[in-house]
Structures are given as C-alpha cells and as structure tokens.
A and B are shown apart, each in its own frame.
Chain A
C-alpha cells in the first residue's frame, strides 16, 4: 500500500490513467467487451507475426554479421530511434500545452517536481511500450527461427526508447528556452515531423542525388543506399563502438548491457535535470496557450459572400490557424519531398521513374484528406450555429467537402504541374488519383461523422476504428490503381474495383448506412 503523495502513489495514478487511455484507444471509446477485443488482439498479433516472418524471417541465421549487415541494421535502428524521438517530442510538447489536470496538480500541496518526474517516466515507458509492441513480432519470429539470443532485442528496444525519451525532453526544454513558449508549440511540431521523417527521406534524397542509376531506380527501396560501395568504404570497422546498438539487437549481451545502461543513464539524467524547472515551463506554456494573442491590425473590413463561400473561407481560416494540424500532416507532406526531388531530376532526362511518384502522391492525398475532412466535418466547434443558420444542409456539406478538396488541390497542384511538365500521362493519372483518393477519404469521414471538439483531432482515429482502417485501405487501393494506370496496365481495374468495394462495405458498416438499411 503506497502513501498518498509519494512517487509510487503518483506512479500508480499515472499508470491507471495511461492504461485507461490505451484501453479507450483499443476499444474506440466504446464499452469494454473482453471477448471481441481479445479476439481482435489475437488476430492482429497473428497477422503481425506472419508479416514479420515474411519480412525478417530469413535473417534469423545471422550470427557473425559483416559490415554491410551492421550498416543496414544500424540504419533500421536509426530510423526507429528517430520515430521514437518524434513521438516523444510530441508527447512532451503536449504535456507543456495541454491544461487537463494541471490546475489540480499545481494547486495541490504535492511537490510539482515529483509529479513531473513520474509523468516523464510514464511518457518514456509509454514510448518504450509502444515500440516493444511494434518490435515484438519481429523479435519473436527471429527467436523462434534463430534461437533465444534474439530475445535480447527486447532490451535493445528498451534502451532505444529510454534514450529517445531523454532526447525529446532535452530538445523540448531547449526549444522552450531558446524561442519562448508561444513559438515552441509550432516549432516543436515541425522538429518532431522532420526528425521522424529525416532518416528515411535523407536516405532517399541521397540515393536520388547520387549518379548511381541503380539507386535512383530503386527509389522506393529505402535502404538501397546503405548497401552501396561508397557507404561500405566510409563505415568504421566491425569492432567499432558505433555498431553496439546493432550488435545488441543481434543478441550480443555485452553490447546490450552497455547500450541499456547508457540509455537508462541518459534518461535518468535528463529527467533529473529537466524536472527542476519543468513546472515553471508548464505554467508559462499553459498561460501562453490560454492568452489570446494581441493583434494590432487595422479595422477589419467585412466582405459579403454567399453562405457556401463564407463556410469555405471559415474552414480554410481555421485550418490555417490550427495549432496541431502541422504535427498531424507535416510528416505526410515531408514524404513528398523525395518524389518532388526525383521529378526535378527527371525533368532533365525525361526519366520514366516519374511513374513511381504517382502512387506516393495518391496515397498522401488520401491520408491528408482524411485528416482535413475530420477537422472540417466532425471537428465543427459551433455546430448549433451552423445548424440554426438559414442554409440548406446539403449546401453546408457541399461547402465543407469543397473546403477539403480545395486544400488538397492547393497542396498537390505544384507537384502535379511539375509532373505534367515531365510526362503528361502520369500527371493526368495522378491528378485523377489524388482527387479520387481525397474524395473517398472525405466521403468516409462524412459517413462516420460524429460531433467532436476540434482539439480532439489527434484522437480522431479512436472515434472509429472502421473509418480509420477503411480510409487506409481506400488510399492504398487508389494508390495501387493509379500506379498501374500510370504504367499503362489494364490490371489497374482490379485495385480500382477493390477501392470501390472498400467504399461499399464501409458505407454498410457506417452508422448512416446501418440507419438507412434499418
């Protein structure tokens, strides 16, 4: 039994909140039903293990890795670590700016530092826990096929999670001190997105810029560069300390002990240092988040427009001013950088690789449209005002759809135009694909619309698992259709049909479809 106010007591409280949060995410906010959730978890677990078997199963026999293997593995570790830092940085930024229970905590007689130490540790645990869940199928498959030494990989993931959380804490506080509370919220999101995508995008960009046509041709193979002769020549010898994280993953106990001790030591040091002033930073940040920015604009001039245009204008204004939109969409947009670069490179020599860009654009458009559609359709902060306005419901819905598709076209037009200059056919296919994927994602959001606060955007996936999965499958199907159509293959009809079937099934599963059927 722990005493109130102690670290253990606070840790129990935080763990309970984190558990219920996770549970709500898994059950999509619905009531806890043990059997269906357990069955779903089991099916997902089996599917992930089968996927891991197909992807990493053949590497189970590696015992004495050569330099090329160590380079590739270190690349994977770096990519995973950068993603963990990105997630952790977003979590720390939210801890700064989300008021939630801070009033209660800061007004209680419990030492604020103690609370934040526990909160930071919980955040590190949560990042590590999620990473363990993601890595578990691969580690289990490798252990089953190659031996128990692969289980050491779990320790390596813990070390990575701890060091990633530490890096995020230090980075967030450094940003806060350097650029102040108001700018940190925006800049931290950009930094998180850039860090999360940096490694993969960096590797792809280097591959594109290299003169190696083999690498450029295998743009979508993220690790093509890592296996190149140039990287092999530049990399340190196999006994270098730089390979310890990779060796820890491969089951080397000495390397694991060092990496784990290092990761945990860095985390503890970061928590001890950062927690000293964390409460002060949080007070300043929440104050900045609450305070309305001062404006010294000239007089605002009203412009009359038809209600539909007023609605579109309002949606675009709110999207532009959304403080968390960037963190949810920037990474998707950053992944468009390599295709853009490839276009630029291909412009000179009419490279047929332009066709490769089409599915990337279509996929990104579908995913981005899903997010924007949720914000404009479900995330309406004044639903009563809109519902009581003398405007037909159909006009309101139309305006919102137009706002989403307009934003998508604005984001993708430069790339589509550049693509058109390189090659007309892939550009036409990409334009149709972008519109189709965006329309499909918007339609799914319309079918599953449920009133929510705009600030709950990050949690939109939890409101409907079906909508989230359908959106992903729909985007994949339209991306595949566009890819095959751009290549001139009639087989494009197959994924296109799958895309339509996904939409039909989603409609039937949606609350509106069920109501219409009932």
Chain B
C-alpha cells in the first residue's frame, strides 16, 4: 500500500476518550473513558444496547456527544472535526454505497472527498480492487452485488484514503466464510503496517483471534479492558474461553447494578 497520510505523533494514542456521555431516552453512553494505542487491533464487546455503536458513531463524527472529549491522534474531534476525520475511516454492518456507481467510480468519489491526489488514489484503488478480488466487478454498477461484495467495496472505500484509524461496527455480519476471511486478513495487514483498528463484534472468536486488546462495555461504561489473559484474570476462576470471560464480566456488572 502507498502511504500518504502524515504520520501521527508516536506519543499520542490513536484514540483517547474521556468522560463521554450520550443520552437518548436513557443514558446510552455514561461517562466512558477509553484509550486505544497506535498500531493496535482493539475489539469492543458488549451485550445488545451496551453503547458500543453509539460510542463509535460519536468517534466517527456521526453523533454529537452530550459531554466528554474525543482525541484522535491528539486532534480534538469535537473542536476540529474536519482534521480528525481526515485520518479516520468508518464502516458499518450495512455497507452504504451507491447502487448506481461502479466500484471504481465509488473509490474515485471517496478519494476526492478525502482530497487524495488522483494518480495516487487511482493506483491504490486498483491495488485494493485486486487485493479484495473485485476485479470482475470493477466496472459494473453496485446494484445487484451480494452483501459480501458490497462490504468489500465499502472496505475498499475505507482504505483508499489510507486512514490511520479504521473503525468498524460489526463488519462481518452476513458475510460468507470466504469474504469474512478476506476482510479479516485486510484488517490484520493494516495493523501490521502500523494502522489502528477498532472493531465491534458479536462473534467472540473473531475478537479472541484478532484483537490485541479487548474492551467490554455494559450499560454505557467500560467494565473491563485488556488482553485476553488479563480479562480472564479479571473474570476470575472458571473463565477459560473469551465467551466464558465475557459472560462472567457482564453478569458481574449486571449484579452490581
């Protein structure tokens, strides 16, 4: 991949969230503190309605928090959203692409929004198209693409501007095994190249295998964080797999509430 983004300061974490609050009918995110290091694959777990998606949507600039701060590579995302967004990519479980554009037209549009020079973005787009196995569909309009192919186009769109922080909300939902493996290998490769990935998932095996660190959210708060071994220690005896650990932590939090 061709690096273009200015390299962020190594001192700053990729993401630092402090006292984040968002209320709808009830508090969805309730004073959340979270730090994700540079070059880390961070997986955010939690039961339905725990506040994972709300948190990540606030980081991506899709929701305005009621209180708190969000620093992306040291840039205050609330004070200077344009600068913060320039190094972030967001992918949701429902790939939002334009049915009437071809993947290449879509990538050209995304690269234009992020202000990537045409020669660089074109080379990178072709590289991504080949990498994700989209060559046969590159000149076809996206209407009629399968869910997996649409997700790959969305992923290519997220990578075409070479973001240093990729945020994914349930990116593997509805993908077949082949597509899921391809997406996972793309994400691992990004981390190997120094990028940061934050991903929510309900597939605990994926988090267990891929994440460097895992955060567990319940009722809008971070209740546990660390490597799998650290989480096991926090969950106590009897928790061997991530599933056991996760369920033990959530149950403990529910009992405390």
**A positions within 8 Å CB-CB of B:** 289-297, 300-307, 309-311, 313-314, 317-318, 321-322, 381-392, 454
Query: Given the complex of chains A and B, what is the CA–CA distance between A293 and B112 in angstroms?
Result: 25
- Let me know if A387 and B61 touch, CB within 8 A: yes
Q: Which residues of B, 99-157, contact A by the 8 Å Cβ criterion?
A: 99-102, 104-105, 108-119, 121-122, 125, 137-145, 157
- Let me know if A383 and B82 touch, CB within 8 A: no
Measured between C-beta atoms, what is the minimum distance from A349 to chain B in Å? 46
**B positions within 8 Å CB-CB of A:** 60-62, 81-86, 88-90, 92, 96-102, 104-105, 108-119, 121-122, 125, 137-145, 157
- 19 A-B pairs within 8 Å (CB atoms) are namely A289-B143, A290-B144, A303-B108, A304-B116, A304-B117, A307-B112, A307-B115, A310-B109, A314-B109, A381-B96, A381-B99, A382-B97, A388-B85, A388-B88, A389-B114, A390-B82, A390-B83, A390-B86, A390-B115
- Let me know if B101 and A318 touch, CB within 8 A: yes
- Let me know if B143 and A290 touch, CB within 8 A: yes
Which of chain B's residues has its CB closest to A389's CB?
B113
User: Which residues of A are found within 8 Å of B89, using beta-carbon distances?
Assistant: 388
- Let me know if B86 and A383 touch, CB within 8 A: no
Question: Given that A290-B143, A292-B145 are contacting pairs, would A317 and B100 also be in contact in the complex, using a CB cutoff of 8 Å?
Answer: yes
Measured between C-beta atoms, what is the minimum distance from B171 to chain A in Å? 13
- Let me know if B122 and A301 touch, CB within 8 A: yes
User: Which residues of A are found within 8 Å of B138, using beta-carbon distances?
Assistant: 300
Query: Given the complex of chains A and B, what is the CA–CA distance between A321 and B102 in angstroms?
Result: 12
- Let me know if B140 and A294 touch, CB within 8 A: yes
- Let me know if B90 and A388 touch, CB within 8 A: yes
Measured between C-beta atoms, what is the minimum distance from B200 to chain A in Å? 15
- Let me know if B96 and A384 touch, CB within 8 A: yes
- Let me know if B118 and A302 touch, CB within 8 A: yes
- Let me know if A300 and B102 touch, CB within 8 A: yes
Query: Given the complex of chains A and B, what is the CA–CA distance between A346 and B85 in angstroms?
Result: 57
Which of chain B's residues has its CB closest to A322's CB?
B100
Measured between C-beta atoms, what is the minimum distance from A433 to chain B in Å? 32
Which of chain A's residues has its CB closest to B98's CB?
A381
User: Which residues of B are found within 8 Å of A306, using beta-carbon distances?
Assistant: 115
In the complex, besides A313-B109, A384-B92, 9 extra interface pairs with C-beta distance below 8 angstroms are: A289-B143, A290-B143, A292-B143, A310-B113, A317-B105, A382-B97, A384-B60, A388-B89, A391-B82
The listed residue (A289, A292, A295, A384) touching B90 by CB distance below 8 A is: A384
The listed residue (A289, A297, A304, A385) touching B118 by CB distance below 8 A is: A304
User: Which residues of B are found within 8 Å of A305, using beta-carbon distances?
Assistant: 112
Query: Given the complex of chains A and B, what is the CA–CA distance between A304 and B124 in angstroms?
Result: 14
User: Which residues of A are found within 8 Å of B112, using beta-carbon distances?
Assistant: 304-305, 307, 309-310
Which of chain B's residues has its CB closest to A298's CB?
B139
Query: Given the complex of chains A and B, what is the CA–CA distance between A59 and B40 in angstroms?
Result: 82
Query: Given the complex of chains A and B, what is the CA–CA distance between A305 and B112 in angstroms?
Result: 6
Question: Given that A314-B109, A321-B100 are contacting pairs, would A292 and B141 also be in contact in the complex, using a CB cutoff of 8 Å?
Answer: yes
Query: Given the complex of chains A and B, what is the CA–CA distance between A318 and B102 in angstroms?
Result: 11
Query: Given the complex of chains A and B, what is the CA–CA distance between A382 and B113 in angstroms?
Result: 13
Question: Given that A290-B143, A302-B121, A388-B62 are contacting pairs, would A382 and B98 also be in contact in the complex, using a CB cutoff of 8 Å?
Answer: yes
Measured between C-beta atoms, what is the minimum distance from B166 to chain A in Å? 11
The listed residue (A289, A302, A385) touching B108 by CB distance below 8 A is: A302
Measured between C-beta atoms, what is the minimum distance from A397 to chain B in Å? 15
The listed residue (A291, A307, A313, A318) touching B98 by CB distance below 8 A is: A318
Measured between C-beta atoms, what is the minimum distance from A21 to chain B in Å? 24
- Let me know if A303 and B118 touch, CB within 8 A: yes
Which of chain A's residues has its CB closest to B91's CB?
A384
- Let me know if B96 and A385 touch, CB within 8 A: yes
- Let me know if B137 and A292 touch, CB within 8 A: yes
Which of chain A's residues has its CB closest to B107's CB?
A302
User: Which residues of A are found within 8 Å of B122, using beta-carbon distances?
Assistant: 301-302
Query: Given the complex of chains A and B, what is the CA–CA distance between A292 and B111 in angstroms?
Result: 23
Question: Given that A314-B98, A388-B61, A390-B82 are contacting pairs, would A293 and B140 also be in contact in the complex, using a CB cutoff of 8 Å?
Answer: yes
